[in-house]
Chains A and B, each alone.
Chain A
C-alpha cells in the first residue's frame, strides 16, 4: 500500500507554484530557509510575490497579518520550531485573533529532523497551534496528501497550520479523496483502533501488517486534520474495540493523543488507550531511524503496544 518516496516540502514548493499560477493574490513569505522549506520554487517563479524576511520570524508573522488585512492570501514558512515557538505571540495576537487569511506551512517538524538535535526538533508545535482559537491544524501523512492539504488550506478563509517533515516519506496508496476535517479510515479491524498522523501513519501501516500476521485485527485511521477533529470517526472507530493506540511524532502532551482523549472522555467512552509519542523529553542528534527507535516511535513499539492492550483484556 506504500510506494514512492517524496519530500513533503518539495511537494509543498511545487504546489505553491501551481496555486500561484491560478491565484495572483497568493503571497509567500520565508525567513531565510526558503531553500529548505522549498518556497524557493515559488520565489523563482513569482519574485514580486515572495518576501524573505531574513532570520526574523516574529516580523514575518506579524507582516503576514498586515498583508492579509489588505486581501492577500499569505503563506508563511520556516521550520516548525521557529514558526510556532519563536513567533507564537504574533501568530496568536496578530494572525489568529484577527482571523487573518494566513497559512503557516512549517517544515522540519518532529524528532526526525535528525542530526540538528533538540533545538530544531519541534515536538510541541501541534499543541501550540491547536490551542489557539480560529487556527486549524493539518498534518499530512505523505507527499500527495501534502498537496491536498496545501490546496485545502488555500481554500479555507482564515488561519491554517500545516505541519511537514524533513525526510522523504513513502506514499500511501488508496487513501481515497482528501476532505479537510474528515479522518481517513485506511483499514477496518475488530480488536484495536490505531489513530495516527504525519509520518506515523506509514509506520503504523507497517505495524498493522505484522499484527495481522499474528491474528490481531486493527483499524487504522489517518487523522490528517487534527483541528477541527473528526469526532464521529474517533467515536465510531474506538467503539467496541479492546483498546486504542494514538501515534504521533510529537510530545504526548497536547497533540493528537490529547485531542483524541478529549473526545473519548467527553463521550464517556472508557476505552483503554496507549500513546506512541515523545514523553516529556527533548530530542537529540541522530539519524531518522535511530531516533524513531530511541524515542519509541517505531513499528515495533506499535506492535508491542497492541499486544499489551490485548493482554489487559
Chain B
C-alpha cells in the first residue's frame, strides 16, 4: 500500500474504532486514535505477516504494550482478515472474542497485555528467541507515554540495549496525556529522547501522523545494527475527531451514539 492508500486505510480504521467503542459503551478512544497511523502503516505496509497463518514462525511480531488501546489492534486484525469483522460489534461483551484488553484467544495476539509496563519485556523475549533461532523477523512494540512511568519499562530498556536486540523497534505514542491529565502534570517523563539515548537506544523522532515519516522511520530502524531502536512519535490524543483531540476525558470514555455520529461524519471518506 502506498502513502495515500495508507492514509485512507487509517481513516477507515478510525471509523472502525469509533463504531466499536460506541457499541461497546466503554473503552479507550484517545490512545487508539493517536496510534492509528503508526499501527496502520505496520500492518498494511511494514510488517511481514499472514492472516491465514497467524502462527507463521517467520512472521514479524507486533505487541501492544499499551493494551488498553485494543480497538486499534482489533481494527487492523479484522481488516487484515485474522477474524470476521462481525466480532468488532461485540467488543467487551460477555462471552465475546474481543476482550477489553487483548488476550491469546484472539488470532494475531501472541501474549496478553493490559497491565502496563510489561510489553517491552515481552518483545525482548520474542527478539531473543528470534536471534537464537537465527530468524529474520522483527519485533514491533507500541508503548504509551504514560506507560513509561512504569519501572518495568526501564528494566526492559536496559536489557534490550545490553542484549543488543537490533531486531526490536519500539514506538512511543507520545500524545502527552494519561488518564489523570497531562503526562507532564501527573508525572513528568521528559526528556524522553535523552532518556532512551542514555539507555543505549537508537532514537528516531517523528510526527506520528505523517505517513511518509512513519514509513521512513521504520525503514531506517531496520538498518540499525547492534542496538534497539525506538521511534518517538509525536501524536495527538483523539486525532482527527475534533471534540476528542487533546481532551483527556476521551482517554477512557467511549463516545455516545450522538458523538459517534459526529465523529464518523468528520472521518468520512474524501474529507
Which A positions have Cβ atoms within 8 angstroms of B?
27, 48-49, 51, 53-54, 56, 58-72, 89-90, 92-94, 97-100
Contacts and interface: CB of A to CB of B under 8 A. Distances in A.
Name the interface size band of chain B.
20 to 34
B160 to A, nearest CB: 10
Best-buried of B118, B122, B125, B155 by chain A (most CB within 10 Å): B125
B114 interface: yes
B129 A98 contact: no
B159 A63 contact: yes
A94 B158 CA distance: 19
A59 B151 CA distance: 9
A58 B121 contact: yes
Given A58-B151, A90-B152, A94-B111, A66 B158 contact: no
B133 A63 contact: no
A88 to B, nearest CB: 11
Given A49-B132, A56-B155, A93 B124 contact: no
Main secondary structure of the interface of A (DSSP, over half): helix
Given A69-B110, A94-B112, A62 B152 contact: yes
A58 B155 contact: yes
A99 B152 contact: no
Nearest to A94: B118
B104 interface: yes
B72 interface: no
B126 to A, nearest CB: 5
B213 to A, nearest CB: 28
B130 interface: yes
B201 to A, nearest CB: 15
A70 B112 contact: no
Nearest to A55: B155
List 8 A-B pairs, minimum CB-CB distance, nearest first.
A66-B125, A62-B121, A70-B129, A59-B155, A56-B155, A67-B125, A66-B122, A62-B118
Contact of B121 (A49, A90, A97, A98): A90
Contacts of A48: 132
B243 interface: no
A65 B121 CA distance: 8
Contacts of B122: 62-63, 65-66, 69, 94
B123 interface: yes
A66 B132 contact: no
A62 B133 contact: no
A219 B108 CA distance: 52
Nearest to B127: A66
B159 A99 contact: no
Given A59-B155, A99-B104, A65 B111 contact: yes
A100 B124 contact: no
Contact of B158 (A56, A60, A99): A56
Best-buried of A53, A59, A61 by chain B (most CB within 10 Å): A59
A66 B163 contact: no
A59 B156 contact: yes
A66 B124 contact: yes
A62 B67 CA distance: 14
Contact of B112 (A49, A56, A58, A93): A93
